[in-house]
Structure 1
């Protein structure tokens, strides 16, 4: 096995919550909430046994919320998206959400105990780092002297030593939910809306942070300090962010998932990652970033810029969207060849079929409405063709469909991150805290076993450090390559590729049938002379697979003398 990073995204609010009430927009009393203590050693062992190396504890930072606690009043409703609040409207960067603690006053200690449980089973821990924006109600109780906005010159839209961008004049902050009177000095929203009246489509519940660059002047941030700058030489926000990263690293956090990383100057990342790696050389940085976002602060491709700044991996949203178009658009499986030509994209991008921002693949409203089976071919391809990190979102492994309205976002095919809720199908695996899948259907049990097998396979040398060879162009004229009736070219629903590790001699053939309706009969995969030479041993010119089920995946392993053995 290798050290290929395999991440299980665990949304704490959902994970251990087995409350069956599910009142849309309900309170924490009505609908319940997952706790740190619910993430037991048994649960973590199950995650580890599936083949994961890291667990991303999503949404643990204290954020604006409609729930009150002693010494912590509820936030003004006009600031909130959903009663529980967005976990990306961080209220105290040095603290964790009291919702997740059995004793809210002891919440940091309960989080530390969870960290210890993760380490005890061999899982590294990643948490969110939200560098572009914070909640409008931000104020740190843990480190009050490091609260964002403290000491700012509110008379200036931009100042290098300000934390925020301040609107000119004196008006009242009119948010979509109503007047927010406490904000007498207006601030720019997280998505760069410089207005006293942000729209419902703006990130109105957040305020943008200032990294010493006036975003109105464009993308040229070359005036900012370099990676070796001393602490006193960098802007104030840099110093505060470094203190935040240090706080969590010293607590035992192993890495950070960095939200909307392309909206922050690359100079900051070069400096901050270097600082973090001075404290721990193995700290893991993964970036959520999108090259097509006009708010990006680089003219370079975002992937290349962030990897160059020190990130270990960056979201591969483009590949996700391409595969989705097989079911929702006009793309063929043959079009997936486009992913194979960019070496950095193929092997350093973070791949996923679901995450908290994306729709559930089993949703009846998305991915063609074909149900949980579609997750198999989609995951097999996205995770199987590269050697970069891969991720699975809690609930995906049992086909959580996110049916119905949960509150703030309506019936959108996502498991809401804004509301108190539990996941109906995932609860069947949790089984009252037994974490044994005791209430799952046979189909769900088989699906979870498949995901576990695939995640484990991704740790094998051929998939973790090996190369890939696409076979679709060889099989376009092969009528036994899943060709549908009436078509004169193959590759609409079928995709095949080889994986090979030269050092160990391990090699695999992977055949993926994306068709959700029909079986594929008498499937054969041709191997060209070039492909056979690439494998490096004598092999037949074709591999007979036979019948493939709708959304089926077949894996053939070549060993030693490379006789074919189906697994």
Structure 2
């Protein structure tokens, strides 16, 4: 039996921080920091109980920080090119090391990470970590690379703006001079000459404040300044180095990589690298952060990725429906646009890049996300991901420091996550510090996510969209309700999601084609079990009469029929 993948993404540094009062822009001593050790067997069991099959530990690989770890042999980073006191986990400073913030004993940080992998597997969960292939920190320097491994940029000819065998891109004769006050209160100016191209494809020496100015772009053999010429023969130096980094982490016993901004790296690299990794680790999963639908099939069929983000399709549409500026009818177009690859799309409603669903910048109320969860988690066999605290209604409305009050949980600052801190309750997980509303939301998420693998029709069944047969009537508001069917063998589920703020008495048409498609017989009145409540309902199961039922506000129903 193949499980439906349910990923629990957690920002590792924040999960175990019990500090109750944090200071904006506070350092590690002032604000505290979570560690690998906070993911105890109890903590991991609680995450597994939510329905998770995988946990994505975000921010594991060592990145630039303003915290001083020089006493552990780790080079310091200039504060002017570190975003926030803690730093961005996507400004990698050493591909061969774990972040020392995450260790209770920094000198044993890799051993502590290995122990976390063992504990995670013992809890029945699989481990995913980030692989950041497109860019590194401006002062990248691997102090932990294996003997004989050449560092990135070590053999570059910095007199050339581009060479296929350089690891970075250069702007010869020009120092790094951002178009804003970079230095701030730094005691010594940051110097870089020649300037290197910035991670978000800025090939000037003067990136702006909104650029990824703390990073430098890796060179995979594309000459961006001369018509994007592709120079892949002989194989560029960066390809070998990044392949070896993937093999290094795969050898630690992880189960998958979430590949940051994978579409900014040429698909030819992935086509070359992923089969080599899977030759040694055939069950390893590769997830790509890709936002261009025109490239989806390229990165699956040529690049070799197992799964891609479904951001600009389903996520953006569900956000619009939840917020009231899009119709539930538009959800149909989401699956139609990826119908041939729908099992390869990763669904989500939150992640570290997006605003929290309950924030003032999104829905303003976590309850509004319930119907969206039903749709996102239940409409396919493909993976579903939630972001830690989402199941508790975390609002992300703190002004933490570098990350302002933007509806996101900071990835740059030392901070705590209020709902997670109270749920953990110093590692006891007794829920005494959670409100009744938070507990009810957590119970709903747990119920839906666990149903995804408990019910065969959700785990591996076929999908049938009912919207074309329910274009709108007095008893079916097609702008605010979405209906579909999942079926496996003798189990058939009618899933209904209500995005309105009031309970709706609803009539759902089951078209003749549904019965033909699944080759099942129409019947009269039958008994259905509503899986979210456990209640029994009498419904008609034919194309001549509607299914009549009441759907709760901001929620839904899953009616199970035994054929």
TM-score (norm 2): 0.91
- Alignment match, 1:347: 343
In the TM superposition, residue 171 of structure 1 has moved relative to its aligned partner by 2.8
In the TM superposition, residue 105 of structure 1 has moved relative to its aligned partner by 0.9
**Distance in 1 between the 2:342 and 2:548 partners?**
27
Answering whether residue 191 of structure 2 is matched by residue 198 of structure 1, we say no
**Distance in 1 between the 2:346 and 2:356 partners?**
18
Correspondent of 1:362 among 329, 345, 358: 358
SS class of match (1:556): strand
The 8 Å contact of residues 21 and 30 in structure 1, kept in 2 or not, is answered as no
Correspondent of 2:297 among 273, 280, 304: 304
**Distance in 2 between the 1:134 and 1:477 partners?**
51
In the TM superposition, residue 476 of structure 1 has moved relative to its aligned partner by 2.1
SS class of match (2:56): strand
**Distance in 1 between the 2:324 and 2:88 partners?**
31
In the TM superposition, residue 172 of structure 1 has moved relative to its aligned partner by 4.4
- Alignment match, 2:155: 151
**Distance in 2 between the 1:480 and 1:276 partners?**
54
- Alignment match, 2:561: 558
The 8 Å contact of residues 54 and 126 in structure 1, kept in 2 or not, is answered as yes
**Distance in 1 between the 2:244 and 2:67 partners?**
28
Answering whether residue 213 of structure 2 is matched by residue 212 of structure 1, we say no
**Distance in 2 between the 1:379 and 1:176 partners?**
42
Answering whether residue 73 of structure 2 is matched by residue 62 of structure 1, we say no
The 8 Å contact of residues 175 and 204 in structure 1, kept in 2 or not, is answered as no
- Alignment match, 1:161: 165
Cα pair distance change 1:23/1:545, threshold 3 Å: farther
In the TM superposition, residue 134 of structure 1 has moved relative to its aligned partner by 0.2
The 8 Å contact of residues 355 and 361 in structure 2, kept in 1 or not, is answered as no
In the TM superposition, residue 218 of structure 1 has moved relative to its aligned partner by 4.6
The 8 Å contact of residues 63 and 97 in structure 1, kept in 2 or not, is answered as yes
**Distance in 2 between the 1:146 and 1:357 partners?**
33
Correspondent of 2:459 among 460, 464, 468: 464
**Distance in 2 between the 1:195 and 1:36 partners?**
39
- Alignment match, 2:529: none
The 8 Å contact of residues 351 and 386 in structure 2, kept in 1 or not, is answered as yes
**Distance in 1 between the 2:43 and 2:229 partners?**
47
Answering whether residue 486 of structure 2 is matched by residue 499 of structure 1, we say yes
Answering whether residue 448 of structure 2 is matched by residue 430 of structure 1, we say no
Q: Which runs of 5+ in 1 are unaligned?
A: 226-232, 293-300, 482-489, 563-567
SS class of match (1:51): coil
| Deviations 1:188-218, CA, capped at 9 Å, x for gaps | 0001111222100111000000012212345
SS class of match (1:93): strand
- Alignment match, 1:396: 390
Correspondent of 1:110 among 104, 109, 112: 112
- Alignment match, 1:224: 232
**Distance in 2 between the 1:444 and 1:534 partners?**
41
The 8 Å contact of residues 188 and 207 in structure 1, kept in 2 or not, is answered as yes
**Distance in 2 between the 1:218 and 1:532 partners?**
55
In the TM superposition, residue 329 of structure 1 has moved relative to its aligned partner by 5.7
| Deviations 1:280-317, CA, capped at 9 Å, x for gaps | 1111000001107xxxxxxxx22111101110000001
Q: CA RMSD in A?
A: 1.8
Answering whether residue 256 of structure 2 is matched by residue 248 of structure 1, we say no
Q: Which runs of 5+ in 2 are unaligned?
A: 184-188, 524-540
**Distance in 2 between the 1:391 and 1:217 partners?**
40
SS class of match (2:119): helix
Correspondence list, 1:480-495, <5 A: 480-481=475-476, 490-495=477-482
In the TM superposition, residue 409 of structure 1 has moved relative to its aligned partner by 2.2
The 8 Å contact of residues 74 and 143 in structure 2, kept in 1 or not, is answered as no
- Alignment match, 1:337: 332
Cα pair distance change 1:135/1:177, threshold 3 Å: farther
Correspondent of 2:81 among 73, 79, 82: 79
SS class of match (1:512): strand
Correspondence list, 1:181-192, <5 A: 181-192=190-201
| Deviations 1:43-84, CA, capped at 9 Å, x for gaps | 111122222221111001100001112133542111011111
Cα pair distance change 1:406/1:345, threshold 3 Å: farther
The 8 Å contact of residues 333 and 492 in structure 1, kept in 2 or not, is answered as yes
**Distance in 2 between the 1:49 and 1:456 partners?**
8
Which deviates more from structure 2 when the two are superposed, residues 329-338 or residues 69-78?
Answer: 69-78
SS class of match (1:554): strand
Cα pair distance change 1:92/1:353, threshold 3 Å: same
Cα pair distance change 1:59/1:194, threshold 3 Å: same
**Distance in 1 between the 2:90 and 2:559 partners?**
43
- Alignment match, 2:531: none
In the TM superposition, residue 140 of structure 1 has moved relative to its aligned partner by 0.5
- Alignment match, 1:267: 268
Which deviates more from structure 2 when the two are superposed, residues 16-25 or residues 198-207?
Answer: 16-25
**Distance in 1 between the 2:430 and 2:548 partners?**
34
TM-score (norm 1): 0.90
- Alignment match, 1:295: none
